[in-house]
């Protein structure tokens, strides 16, 4: 019994000292210089439940990746609706739905695309020098 206890304590100690666990590390800061930022344009409405969920996801991404910024546009505000329609047309988006997110040359429509594909694109832009803010010219 003492042998099992000793082995268990030794095993736990090795795991603890080796750093095994749920620690999140980010190697996504490799290529872009510190002053370069990847901008996420988030078209939403304060009355949209899916938009609220995506807003929480974007808040989490902001905590994990310091190289991003989020710019929100509530499409119920008149000028923002016009921008939303212009951006949708630029990306040849047939369905003008929210939540709608633009990052560089990619657009993400609806919760599923945003939740499952956005972070991968953010990291790929961080590791390469291919990021182009196409929305900046439309604003």
Facing residues of 71 across strands?
A: 41
Q: What domains, with CATH codes, occur in the chain?
A: 38-127 (3.40.30.10)
Q: What is the 3-state secondary structure (H, E, C) of 9-50?
A: HHHHHHHHHHCCCCCCCCCCCCCCCCCCCEEEEEEECCCCHH
pLDDT of residue 1: 44
The answer to whether 67 touches 126, Cβ cutoff 8 Å, is yes
pLDDT tens for 111-133 read 999 999 999 999 999 888 888 89
Confidence of residue 89 (pLDDT cuts 50, 70, 90): very high
Spatial strand order of the sheet with 106-109 comes to: 68-74, 38-44, 100-103, 106-109
pLDDT tens for 3-40 read 433 333 333 333 333 333 323 333 434 444 445 799 99
Q: Is 77 helix (H, G, I), strand (E, B) or coil?
A: coil
Please name the residues in contact with 16: beta carbons below 8 A apart, sequence gap of 6 or more. none
The answer to whether 100 touches 73, Cβ cutoff 8 Å, is no
The first and second tokens of residue 133, run together, are 């803010």
């Amino acid at each position: 019994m003492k042998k099992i206890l000793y082995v268990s304590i030794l095993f736990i100690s090795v795991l603890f000292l080796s750093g095994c666990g749920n620690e999140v590390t980010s190697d996504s800061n490799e290529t872009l210089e510190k002053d370069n930022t990847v901008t996420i344009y988030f078209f939403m409405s304060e009355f949209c439940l899916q938009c609220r969920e995506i807003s929480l996801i974007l808040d989490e991404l902001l905590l994990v990746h310091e190289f991003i910024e989020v710019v929100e546009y509530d499409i119920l505000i008149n000028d923002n609706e016009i921008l939303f329609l212009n951006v949708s047309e630029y990306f040849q988006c047939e369905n003008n739905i929210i939540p709608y997110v633009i990052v560089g040359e990619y657009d993400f429509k609806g919760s599923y695309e945003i939740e499952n594909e956005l972070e991968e694109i953010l990291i790929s832009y961080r590791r390469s020098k291919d990021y182009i803010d196409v929305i900046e010219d439309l604003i």
